[in-house]
Amino acid sequence: MNVVDRFLKYVSFDTQSDENSEITPSTAGQMILAEEIKKEMEAMGLQDITLDEHAYLMATLPANADEKLPVIGFIAHLDTSPDMTGANVNPRIIKNYDGKDIVLCKEENIVLSPSMFPELTHHVGEDLIVTDGKTLLGADDKAGIAEIMTAVQYLIDHPEIKHGKIRIAFNPDEEIGLGAHKFDVSLFGCDWAYTMDGGEVGELEFENFNAAGAKITFNGRNVHPGYAKNKMLNAMHLAMEFASLLPVWERPEHTEGYEGFFHLTGMTGTVEEVSLSYIVRDHNAELFAQRVQLLKDITAYLNTRYGNAIKLDIKQQYRNMREIVEPQIHIVNLAFRAMEQVEVKPVVRPIRGGTDGAQLSFKGLPCPNIFAGGLNFHGRYEYVSIRSMEKAVQVIVKIVELNKN
């Protein structure tokens, strides 16, 4: 199978993860896809294939050259985002994209337009894979899986390309921040690895946000409104006051580059109780700590006014992998050279998010991130360029080829 055939096969599996689940994988579909890929690995003749009860799938392409070469790994994740359904994905290939609007769903007037997504114009003349406007596509990260599998097959078919031992791994639940939690780095056994989980062609990333999740619970006091004076405490008003004390211009819609943010991701409640969910992000560790402290300070301030009616729970999610990867910058430089040699212009930029590679780097596996080619992840406007996927395959092969002592 070529990379497109593999991708179209993989997106037919519903692997949407579930942040409310307490098991790994968080959804059964991820294991079903892992079992299917395991069969492909066996048919390809890969070795040391393991699939554990948590849907962590690993395999080896043995060295055909110097056994002392560094062992490189390539990683992608099985799950798709909880933000939109990944069931019954109906992809369509737009041949030789002309730069105009793409009607995804005529009945519901869902249109993928360069006026809203100007990056589309970078892919004029290319073949694009799009959704039907009713689901996400799943290029995040099934494009990465397809690219890794296709590159490994290419290396098998071309033994004249001499290489060391190659390890590949596909893990569950990246989209809910748990992809690396049960990843056995020692079993994987690599000197370093690359996640194939970036966006636009050429992206090469080795620094990401420091990240935390915050849940704020507001406990109110409900009284009949006709007799509520000096008695009622409306939890919804408390929540609104809390949100108003965070800086307006430090929201995702107003930030870019290295700028951090507070992002309100969920809000539920009544007069009696309200829950707000935030994600907190910043590349700079000191500024990140200040953001977390601001949440604590606002909570303390409001509790002095409202009698400890507010509870703040903060969970650290991941740290900026730059401090781990930068001392071993040769692994970034290797990917940089590989891109240049397959005529891809490297674009080194910070990830405005996180990947499994961030957590894996702090578990002892330095792990920069490379483009997979998709754009507009997590929603109905997601698409991927076939040329970008093909280039990602070439980059993987070239990294393997250039890996020398």
pLDDT at 171 over 90: yes
Strands 92-94 and 128-130 come out as: antiparallel
pLDDT in tens, 9-63: 999 999 999 988 999 999 999 999 999 999 999 999 999 999 999 999 999 999 9
For 227, the enclosing helix (H) or strand (E) is none
Residue with tokens 């977390």: 292
pLDDT in tens, 286-320: 999 999 999 999 999 999 999 999 999 999 888 89
> CA 132, CA 91: separation in Å to the nearest integer?
6
CATH code that applies to domain 3-208+320-402? 3.40.630.10
Please report, in angstroms and rounded to a whole number, the separation of the first and last CA atoms in the chain. 32
Given 79, 140, 147, 205, the catalytic residue: 79
Residue with tokens 């071309």: 158
Given 14, 140, 141, 174, the catalytic residue: 174
**Average pLDDT of span 80-89:** 94
Q: Is 173 a catalytic residue?
A: no
R_g of the chain computed on alpha carbons: 23
Q: Is 192 left (phi over 0), alpha (psi -120 to 50) or beta?
A: beta
Q: How confident is the model at residue 68 (pLDDT cuts 50, 70, 90)?
A: confident
pLDDT in tens, 352-399: 877 788 889 999 999 999 999 999 999 999 999 999 999 999 999 999
Instruction: Work out the number of other CB atoms within 10 angstroms of the CB of residue 229.
Output: 8
pLDDT in tens, 256-291: 989 999 999 989 999 999 999 999 999 999 999 999
Lowest mean pLDDT among 56-70, 89-103, 114-128: 56-70
Q: Is 35 a catalytic residue?
A: no
Six-digit token string for 381: 């406007």
In percent, the amount of the chain with pLDDT more than 70 equals 100
Q: How confident is the model at residue 246 (pLDDT cuts 50, 70, 90)?
A: very high
pLDDT at 134 over 70: yes
Considering the segment(s) 213-318 as one domain, its CATH architecture is: 2-Layer Sandwich (3.30)
Six-digit token string for 343: 């005529």
Note the maximum CA span of the chain. Answer: 84
Can you give the pLDDT at residue 59? 98
Residue with tokens 């991701």: 265
Instruction: Work out the number of other CB atoms within 10 angstroms of the CB of residue 327.
Output: 9
**Domain-by-domain residue ranges, the chain?**
3-208+320-402, 213-318
According to DSSP, residue 374 is labeled E
Can you give the pLDDT at residue 405? 64
